[in-house]
Amino acid sequence: MATIEEALELERLERDIFRGAFPKTQLPRTFGGQVAGQALVSAVRTVEPRFQVHSLHGYFLRPGNPEAPTVYMVDRIRDGRSFSTRRVTGVQDGDAIFTMSASFHIGDEGPSHQDEMADVAPPDDLPDAETSMDPERLWAMREWEHWDIRPVPQEQVTQRPGVVSPQQVWFRYRHPLPDDPLFHVCTLAYMSDMTLLGSSKVTHPDEPTQNASLDHAMWFLRPFRTDDWLLYDQSSPSAGFGRALTGGKIFDRSGRLVAAVVQEGLIRTLRK
């Protein structure tokens, strides 16, 4: 299937209008991470190189057609000395399917602290999902064959008081990627939609549901590489009324907290 370079490819149509690639896929609708990643790439291309992405907030408005391109229209909301802001709308067939605000910062000096990474099994001690996944789920590994995704077995997941639905996943891109830090940020935006909503199913493993991402927010905290191991430490603090709130902290292998994610998703019970 498509490489990350192919999945994030854009064609510039006008100064602030871009058209995204639509690589071959098995999915019935466009993968949300692809839409978010392409939207972020389009925003990056309208900002001076001295600015780095520090956050994004997006809404998935309609399912995307995976057999058609998405056009991204960028609004230059603000260009300041320290911060720049962009608003991006992804459009298919005249309808908005995704909207996102992205903020950029040149970086300043200030106090520093972070949460500690959980004590989890290292990725080298876990089987590659490509060889260990349930055969009924192997289509997912074919769809994302360029990613090495290693879930921590549920019996080994770090249990914390009051956290009812934890999930931990190691992941990395299997092949060397360019050194450009912004490319790694856009790659992580793509990847961050994968597995996160699944944390809401940890306490309801046998209940059939319809699932879809509704909104997605990310904060990029420290430099990282997506072709090195990252730990996605996830949980779902609440589910109800057909929706689930999920969140994740992303650490590099050395224990540095590099990003944080919050997402609300549809988790609607399927009626027989």
Question: Confidence class of residue 132 from pLDDT cuts 50, 70 and 90?
Answer: low
Question: Confidence class of residue 51 from pLDDT cuts 50, 70 and 90?
Answer: very high
pLDDT for residue 182: 96
- The answer, yes or no, to whether residue 135 has pLDDT greater than 90, is no
Task: Point out the domain boundary residue: 44, 77, 107.
Answer: 107
Residues 6+ away with beta carbon under 8 Å from 159: 166
Question: Do strands 257-269 and 209-220 pair parallel, antiparallel, or not at all (unpaired)?
Answer: antiparallel
Q: pLDDT per residue over 72-129, tens digit each?
A: 999 999 999 999 999 999 999 999 999 999 999 998 999 999 999 999 999 999 998 7
Residue ranges of the alpha helices (H) in the chain?
Answer: 4-7, 32-44, 129-132, 138-143, 181-191
**Which residue type, as a one-letter code, is found at position 45?**
R
> Do 152 and 85 fall into the same domain?
no
Indicate the number of domains in the chain.
2
Strand partners, 17: 14, 73
Rg of the chain on CA atoms, in Å: 18
Task: Point out the domain boundary residue: 107, 132, 154.
Answer: 107
Q: pLDDT per residue over 29-46, tens digit each?
A: 999 999 999 999 999 999
Residue 191 resides in a domain: yes
pLDDT for residue 136: 52
> Do 134 and 66 fall into the same domain?
no
CB 90 within 8 A of CB 99: yes
Q: What is the model's pTM?
A: 0.94
Domain that holds residue 209: 121-271
pLDDT for residue 139: 62
pLDDT for residue 271: 77
Q: What is the CATH number of the domain that holds 62?
A: 3.10.129.10
> Do 156 and 264 fall into the same domain?
yes
Residue 115 resides in a domain: no
Buried residues in 232-260 as b, exposed as e (16+ CB within 10 A):
bbbbbeebeeeebbbbbbbbbbeeebbbb
pLDDT for residue 18: 98
Look over the chain and give the mean of its residue pLDDT values, rounded to a whole number: 94
> Do 133 and 216 fall into the same domain?
yes
**Residues tagged active-site:** 193, 213, 263
pLDDT for residue 128: 85
> Do 162 and 87 fall into the same domain?
no
Residue 113 resides in a domain: no
- The answer, yes or no, to whether residue 151 has pLDDT greater than 90, is yes
Q: pLDDT per residue over 59-75, tens digit each?
A: 999 999 999 999 999 99
Q: pLDDT per residue over 187-228, tens digit each?
A: 999 999 999 999 999 999 888 999 999 999 999 999 999 999
Residues 6+ away with beta carbon under 8 Å from 261: 192, 196, 216, 217, 218, 219, 247, 248, 249, 250
Distance in angstroms (rounded) separating the CA atoms of residues 20 and 12 = 9
Does 272 or 70 have the greater pLDDT score? Answer: 70
Residue 84 resides in a domain: yes
> Do 55 and 126 fall into the same domain?
no
